[in-house]
Every structure is written in C-alpha cells, then in structure tokens.
Amino acid sequence: MKQRIVLLGPPASGKGTQADRLSAAYGIPHVSTGALLRSECARGTALGKEADEWTRQGLLVPDELAVRIVTAWMEEHGTSFLFDGFPRTTGQAEHLDASLAALGAPLELIVLLELNEAEIRRRMLGRLSCLGCGATCSISLHDLREGDPCPRCGSKLVRRADDTEEALGQRLRVYRELTLPVVGYYEGTAPQLLHRIDAGQGSDEIFKKLSAMVRGE
C-alpha cells in the first residue's frame, strides 16, 4: 500500500473528494493545505490572517507559509499522507523532496487529475463547502443552499470566498503558470511515480482507478 501520495490537479478537479474517499478506505490521512489554511483563517490566527490576504484574491500563499503548515503537520502526524493541493509550485515540490529524503521516506505515488477549463468553471461556481469538515457539495446535485447544514457533519455550508467569478480567472492562471510546472518537475525527477486520470469521468470510476494505484496494482 502506498503511504505517501500527492494528488495534483486544477481547482474543482475532485482532489478533495477523492482524497476523502481514499482516506476513509485505506486509513491514509488526507491533508488539504487549502482546508488547513481556511481553518486557520476561521479561527482568526495570525497565520490565517496572513494567508487570507492571498487566498481571497485567488493567489497562492508564499511558499514559505505553505511549507511551514505542511512541516508542522508532518511533525505532529508523521509521514503517511495524501496531499491535496500541495505542492503547488516547483519550489514547494523541491522542498518536499528534500524533507522526505532527510526522513528516508520518499514519495510513493503522484496522480494528476486532468480537467478542461469549461468544466472547472461550471463546477467551481456551482459548489458549496463545509467550514467544519471541508466537504464540498454540488448545489444542483444535492439541492442545497448557502447556510444549509453539511450533509456529513452538520456544520454550515458556505460559498468559499475564492469560488467567485472574479477569483476564478486568477486561480486558473495561477494553476497554469505555477502549478502545471510541478507536473513537469515530477516528469523529470520521478516519472515512474506519476500517473494521469481524466477527472471528467464519474467519481466512482475515478475512485476505482485511484484505489488500484494506491494498492500498487
């Protein structure tokens, strides 16, 4: 079983949903840097306030801040993880490789969820997120409204401050310019670990494919 996994992909490609399902099925902790940052922000911590200045605009927080939050997580929880939304830049990928090499625990699987921009837009503008557990729900699929309770944990569902038409263009540009190069980085350093999945397929189909990869089949 793979223990150190990175899920890459544009916003709304289903990374969080699939990471949740994999985590429940295989017991590998799901670590979303976006959710960690949103929780810091909701608690009003200094780190959360600093991060909010960037995330609100659809921009990435500085590498140093993203690396700090992930390092703290690994110190507390160890080196079994499913990263969703990290690394987001080649600088973060290099940093992660160095940290894991020092711990003698290299990455074991990297999966890119690929989705076209029209579908990304449709999904991002039609979803609500839970501030409690981080779940994402489709407004039309689940017939939900902002303020409704989360079907999973009962906390309030909100539209993310960066799931807006204004932030969307920025987030797509940031993905193309800063995060897609991470795929090139792994093509160069760990091509045997890198797999691609069409994220336009149904959630169950994607989960089946990911499961086989996690089990090393």
Q: How far is the CB of 88 from ligand AMP (least distance, A)?
A: 4
Half-sphere exposure of 160 (CA within 13 A, CB side): 34
Nearer to ligand AMP, 64 or 187 (CB): 64
Q: Point out which span in 19-27, 28-36, 146-154, 202-210 binds ligand AMP (CB under 6 A).
A: 28-36
Nearer to ligand AMP, 92 or 212 (CB): 92
Residues binding ligand AMP: what is the number (CB under 6 A)?
18
Assess 10 for contact with ligand AMP (CB under 6 A): no
Q: How many Å apart are CA 61 and CA 32, to the nearest integer?
A: 14
Is residue 71 within 8 A of residue 83, CB to CB? The reply is no
Is residue 69 within 8 A of residue 36, CB to CB? The reply is yes
- Give the DSSP letter of residue 14: S
Nearer to ligand AMP, 20 or 162 (CB): 162
Q: How far is the CB of 200 from ligand AMP (least distance, A)?
A: 19
The SS3 of residue 146 is coil
Q: How far is the CB of 60 from ligand AMP (least distance, A)?
A: 4
Q: Point out which span in 42-50, 56-64, 113-121, 202-210 binds ligand AMP (CB under 6 A).
A: 56-64
Q: How many CB atoms lie within 10 A of CB 94?
A: 15
- Angle between helix 33-42 and helix 63-77 axes, rounded to 10 deg: 90
Nearer to ligand AMP, 86 or 185 (CB): 86
Residues 76-115 that bind ligand AMP (CB under 6 A): 85-86, 88, 92
Catalytic residues: 15, 88, 127, 160, 171
Assess 61 for contact with ligand AMP (CB under 6 A): yes
Helix residue ranges per DSSP H, the chain: 15-26, 33-42, 46-55, 63-77, 90-102, 117-125, 139-142, 165-174, 180-189, 203-214
Q: How far is the CB of 128 from ligand AMP (least distance, A)?
A: 13
**Residue from the set 9, 10, 14, 34 that interacts with ligand AMP by CB under 6 A:** 34
- Give the DSSP letter of residue 45: -
Q: Tell me the residue nearest to ligand AMP as measured from the CB.
A: 34
Q: How many Å apart are CA 33 and CA 66, to the nearest integer?
A: 7
Binding residues for ligand AMP, rule: CB under 6 A, are: 11, 32-34, 37, 54-55, 58-61, 66, 85-86, 88, 92, 162, 171
